[in-house]
Amino acid sequence: IMDDCLFCKIIANEIPSSKVYEDDELFAFKDLYPKADVHILVIPKLHIESLDGLTSDHQNLIAKMMLKLPELARDQGLKDGFRTIINTGPGGGQEVGHLHMHILGGKNLPGFK
Ligand code: AMP
Ligand code: ZN
C-beta neighbour count of 4 within 10 angstroms: 7
Please give the model's pTM, rounded to 2 decimal places. 0.96
DSSP bridge partners of 40: 30, 103
pLDDT of residue 3: 81
* pLDDT tens figures, 49-100: 999 999 999 999 999 999 999 999 999 999 999 999 999 999 999 999 999 9
Q: Considering only CA atoms, which residue is closest to atom 12 of ligand 1?
A: 33
Residues that are catalytic: 100
Angle CA 54–40–32, to nearest 5: 105
Per-residue pLDDT at 1 exceeds 80: no
Rounded Cα gap, residues 99 and 16, in angstroms: 19
Which listed ligand is nearest to 100 at the C-alpha? 1
Rounded mean pLDDT of 35-51?
A: 98
